[in-house]
Amino acid sequence: MNLLGNKRFLVAGLPQSGKTTLILALLERAKMVGETPGAIRPFDVGQLRRNAQEGFSDGQIFQAAMQGNPAETLVSPFLANEVYPVELAFRRDGITLNWRYLQDRLAILAKHYQPLFVELPGGLMMPLDEETTNLAWAKSLNSPLIYALRPEADLLTVQMAEVALLKAQNLNFHLWINNLQTPQDGDFLFYFWEKLEALAGQQIEGMLPFAPGLSPEERAQTLGQHLAGLLAKIDGD
């Protein structure tokens, strides 16, 4: 049962597929239309490497983009130090996932932020603990899922498997393509688009073009040009 209504959206995809970038753009776009949006990265890893590089976690990035300066522990409740699969990284740090605690964090955020975007770890079959995969947890949330696709030949079959999983689980999902490099092969892009749409049994919402260096505000403006259908679903759900 979805206790938070229809203004919660899951954002999924393979690692480095652009999930965080999309969420930041969606946050800015929602603010532009007068909403108070929020985001949460429930499971994160690699804090030691980010500290060494003087970088920021997704939780800190989301925190800075949200109104009211929410606590980092609210938007990033489970954070591990090392870069390992989620379950192993948490095990090495002695972190035990408390699902009731996480549900409480989601409920608190939902009281203050709508829409709420939940960034999932990369890969649907990523183990979160000994009993729960990313996909299983996503299904339990009963919320629409926005899945990022990367049009790269070596990732085609992996992404086809992920989309097949989403369809087999009867999840409410929407696909979009994030073009992370200069287009070089139009034939492959057409083939990629065609195969994923046929497999999913639905249209892909659109593709964000290769445009490095855009600010979240500039990226938000491109959403209306390239993902108008997805925005309409977010507004209408």
CA dihedral 204, 26, 59, 154 (to 10 degrees): 20
183, part of any domain? yes
163, part of any domain? yes
184, part of any domain? yes
45, part of any domain? yes
Residue 177: domain span: 8-236
Q: What is the pLDDT of residue 237?
A: 54
List the chain residues with pLDDT less than 70.
1-6, 54, 183-184, 237
How many structural domains are present in the chain? 1
CATH number at residue 202: 3.40.50.300
Nearest to 114 by CA among 5, 207, 211, 14: 5
Q: What is the pLDDT of residue 4?
A: 38
CB proximity list for 116: less than 8 A, separation 6 or greater: 4, 7, 8, 9, 37, 38, 39, 40, 106, 109, 110
72, part of any domain? yes
pLDDT in tens, 132-173: 999 999 999 999 999 999 999 999 999 999 999 999 999 999
1, part of any domain? no
Q: What is the pLDDT of residue 2?
A: 36
Q: What is the pLDDT of residue 180?
A: 77
30, part of any domain? yes
pTM of the model: 0.92
Q: Are 122 and 14 in contact (CB under 8 A)?
A: yes
pLDDT in tens, 191-207: 999 999 999 999 999 99
Q: What is the pLDDT of residue 6?
A: 56
